Amino acid sequence: MRVRFSVLAVSVLALVLALGCDGEKVPPRAGDGLGPDPDEGLADVSMIDGGGSDRGPPPIDMRVRDAEPDAAPDAAPDAASDMLIDGCVPGDEVCNGGDDDCDGRVDEDDPGLGDACETGESGLCARGTLQCGDAVLVCVPLPLARDEACNGIDDDCDGNVDEDAPENGQACASGRPGVCAEGARLCRDGTLLCLPTATPAPEACNGRDDNCDGRVDENDPEGGFACDLGQGGACRAGRTACVDGAVACVEGPPGAERCDGRDEDCDGNIDEDVGDLGPCDTGEPGACARGARQCVNGAVFCLPVDDALAELCNGLDDDCDGIIDEAVEAPSCYPGPEGTAGVGLCRSGARRCEL
């Protein structure tokens, strides 16, 4: 029992103090709190030498009794006996993982607790107060954190900036024409942008500005192709056209034929009589460089003009066969005096092309 042990400890302490007195007995005192009968169970303690003389201290009351029957078995001893048994000497409480002031609590009331400090973080998370954690004073950010916003600051003190900004994804007007007008908000580098949700695409016949150039169904998208109108005559075949955002087959009035693979003049022929498309350079050497543009299978090509000349001795490929000055006609010749050709050793010769 803690109570019995505490009383016994006090009695032992009294005995030690009493041993300091010499040769004088201290009579027991009534009302010492150890029982109703001061004389019951009293033990005289004396030190007697071999001669029988008294040399010890006076007797003291060494009676040890149980706690009163009606006392609570777990009643706490007084603070003095606790201090004596537990060996706790109160001091100033500090953040060290111990109960310095012997109040049964650990690390409370450190003098530095609550002092302002710098957390090392940025923005709202930079200011903090000292708190005791794991026996060490740490700087804890002030409770200033708020929902993240697009401002280049770590509002919620999680180490990330502008993440999960509530404005992200909100519908907005991008200010661009056509399908690019609809946008969504996006936080980038602390600035809230409105970016189009659609990208420009080739124009289609749908009554929309698909390429975001501010015009709708321009250049007759999906138009100009042959279609059947169910009519007779050369122009029974119509052409497609973009009308009010939809492709329709419309009658194609006869027009001038063009080199495009279509029958514009409704005569049943394609790309005929497209007219003079003009001269061009074929890229070949010499006289073969001259060419003329011609319509072939709905496309214009530069073809050599078919007016090749007989090969001459002039350093050019006159006949456009890729060979220069070949097979040049060489007339006979005689460099001697007139009338001597064919006489004796004088024979006529032939000219050669040398440049």
- Report pLDDT digits (tens) over 321-341: 777 777 777 666 767 677 666
pLDDT band for position 237 (cuts 50, 70, 90): low
- DSSP class of 86: H
| pLDDT at residue 113, rounded to an integer | 78
| pLDDT at residue 145, rounded to an integer | 66
The candidate with the shortest Cα–Cα distance to 178, out of 156, 197, 158, is 197
| pLDDT at residue 316, rounded to an integer | 76
What residues pair up with 296 in beta bridges, in sequence order?
299
Residue 109 is assigned to a structural domain of this protein = no
Q: For residues 196-211, give the mean pLDDT.
A: 92
Residue 3 is assigned to a structural domain of this protein = yes
Q: Does 248 have pLDDT greater than 50?
A: yes
Question: Alpha-carbon Rg of the chain, whole angstroms?
Answer: 61
Residue that finishes a domain, picked among 218, 238, 270: 270
Is the model more confident about 259 or about 325? Answer: 259
| pLDDT at residue 256, rounded to an integer | 78
Total domain count, the chain: 2
Whole-angstrom Cα distance, residue 292 to residue 182? 51
Residue 218 is assigned to a structural domain of this protein = yes
Q: What is the per-residue pLDDT across 310-323, written as a single tens digit (0 to 9) for each?
A: 777 877 777 777 77
pLDDT band for position 307 (cuts 50, 70, 90): low
pLDDT band for position 344 (cuts 50, 70, 90): low
pLDDT band for position 208 (cuts 50, 70, 90): very high
When mean pLDDT is compared over 11-20, 156-165, 178-187, 263-272, the highest value belongs to 178-187
Cα 276 to Cα 259, 273, 279, 287, distances in angstroms: 11, 9, 9, 21
Whole-angstrom Cα distance, residue 309 to residue 287? 8
Residue that finishes a domain, picked among 72, 87, 102: 87
Whole-angstrom Cα distance, residue 144 to residue 273? 84
pLDDT band for position 170 (cuts 50, 70, 90): very high
pLDDT band for position 350 (cuts 50, 70, 90): low
Residue that finishes a domain, picked among 87, 114, 134: 87
Phi (first) and psi of residue 333, to 5 degrees: -155, 160
| pLDDT at residue 196, rounded to an integer | 93
Q: What is the DSSP string of 113-139?
A: TT-EEE-S--GGGGEEEEEEETTEEEE
| pLDDT at residue 212, rounded to an integer | 92
Residue 132 is assigned to a structural domain of this protein = no
| pLDDT at residue 195, rounded to an integer | 92
The range of the structural domain enclosing residue 258 comes to: 200-270
Q: Does 50 have pLDDT greater than 60?
A: no
Residue 190 is assigned to a structural domain of this protein = no
Contact 140, 131 (CB under 8 A): yes
The candidate with the shortest Cα–Cα distance to 327, out of 313, 341, 316, 338, is 313
Of 52-61, 112-121, 264-273, 336-345, least confident by mean pLDDT is: 52-61
Residue 241 is assigned to a structural domain of this protein = yes
Report if pTM > 0.75: no
Contact 250, 235 (CB under 8 A): no
Residue 325 is assigned to a structural domain of this protein = no
Q: Tokens 């200033």 map to which residue?
A: 144
Whole-angstrom Cα distance, residue 30 to residue 232? 146
Q: What is the per-residue pLDDT across 77-133, written as a single tens digit (0 to 9) for each?
A: 444 444 444 567 888 778 887 878 888 888 777 667 788 898 887 667 788 888 887
| pLDDT at residue 332, rounded to an integer | 66
Local structure of 163: helix, strand or coil: coil
What residues pair up with 301 in beta bridges, in sequence order?
294
Whole-angstrom Cα distance, residue 167 to residue 225? 48
Tokens of 172: 């907005």
Residue 46 is assigned to a structural domain of this protein = yes
